[in-house]
Amino acid sequence: MPHYWPARVASAAPRRRPAAPTGPPPETAPTARRGRPAYDSAVPDAPARQPASGVSLRPVTPENEAAVVALRVRPGQERLVAANAQSLADARAVPACEPFAVYAGETPVGFLLLRHDYPGPRDYYLLRLMVAAEHQGRGYGTAALERLVEHVRTLPGASALRTSYDVGEGNAGPFYARLGFVATGGTNGDEVELLLPL
Ligand SMILES: CC(C)(COP(=O)(O)OP(=O)(O)OC[C@H]1O[C@@H](n2cnc3c(N)ncnc32)[C@H](O)[C@@H]1OP(=O)(O)O)[C@@H](O)C(=O)NCCC(=O)NCCS
């Protein structure tokens, strides 16, 4: 079992040296993008800011697993997060992993994976987070993280939620920063590590 779990690749991926530099903290993460950004909230069919009410986290079960596995990020975002099938396989290999389907009403729109013992016991780490391409920019990612924080606050010894992100184009650094995550100064593989005090 590797001792780090980047968001973007399978756990079996070969270890790479951290990029030098690993990138600025999210408060100052570069926003300039070349070409068409992988993330663009101004998709024509998405309301500018629709209240994301009715968003829930539900267990991944035999009934909804195929739908979760079928969820895909936008072209160009695949390098930012592992495929859900891979994340579910990773979760099965580690009992302290808790995968969730993100639902908007009764529709599965995303996926996240929480680990309860990383890097140590009672350290809560958001290993994977994705909202499917057609559902991005509607507040579902934000609402899913709010639900996750509510959940983590109920867990033993929870004082923080950690995560990490790849610094590539279209990265989720600004998304996490606006939710209150701050850079720890550390890395997870070659990803920037963040922490949200609870
Ligand atoms: C990151 C992700 C989960 C956000 O989900 P989402 O449902 O689209 O996010 P929201 O609609 O809640 O966005 C909230 C705000 O963050 C912004 N935002 C979201 N993702 C962003 C990104 N990658 N870069 C910059 N801003 C982003 C949105 O524009 C929105 O701002 P607004 O309120 O001014 O419109 C989704 O874009 C995704 O799955 N990305 C690909 C996978 C990925 O990078 N996962 C994180 C791995 S660590």
Given a cut of 60, is residue 127 above it in pLDDT?
A: yes
Q: Does domain 41-197 have CATH number 3.40.630.30?
A: yes
DSSP state of 9: S
pLDDT confidence of 5, banded at 50, 70, 90?
A: low
Nearest Cα neighbor of 4 from 192, 185, 172, 189 is 189
d(CA 31, CA 10): 27
Residue nearest to atom 42 of ligand 1 (CA): 130
CB contact burial 106-138 (16+ within 10 A = b; e otherwise): eebbbbbbbbbebeeeebbbbbbbbbbeebbbb
The pLDDT mean for the chain works out to 82
pLDDT confidence of 4, banded at 50, 70, 90?
A: low
d(CA 107, CA 56): 10
* pTM reported for the whole predicted model: 0.83
Q: From ligand 1's centre to the CA of 52, what distance in Å? A: 13
d(CA 103, CA 150): 16
Q: Give the per-residue pLDDT at 85.
A: 98
Q: Which residues line ligand 1 (CB under 6 A)?
A: 7, 39, 41, 49, 73, 77, 80-81, 129-131, 136-142, 165, 170-172, 174-175, 178
Strands (E), 65-117: 97-104, 107-115
Measured from the Cα of 39, ligand 1's closest atom is: 23
Instruction: List the domain boundaries for the chain.
Output: 41-197
pLDDT for 22-35, tens place per residue? 333 333 332 323 33
What amino acid is encoded at 86 in this protein? Q
Q: Give the per-residue pLDDT at 149.
A: 97
Given a cut of 80, is residue 19 above it in pLDDT?
A: no
pLDDT for 89-119, tens place per residue? 999 999 899 999 999 999 999 999 999 999 9
Q: Which two tokens stand for residue 63?
A: 């009934």
Q: Give the per-residue pLDDT at 160.
A: 97
72 versus 36: the higher-pLDDT residue is 72
Strand partners, 188: 191
pLDDT confidence of 7, banded at 50, 70, 90?
A: confident
Q: From ligand 1's centre to the CA of 47, what distance in Å? A: 14
What secondary structure does DSSP assign to 13-61, as a single string? SPP-PPPSS----GGG------SS-S--S--TTS-TT---TTEEEEE--
**Rg of the chain over CA atoms, in angstroms?**
16
Q: From ligand 1's centre to the CA of 183, what distance in Å? A: 17
Q: Determine the straight-line distance between the first and last CA of the chain, rounded to whole angstroms.
A: 28
Q: Give the per-residue pLDDT at 154.
A: 97
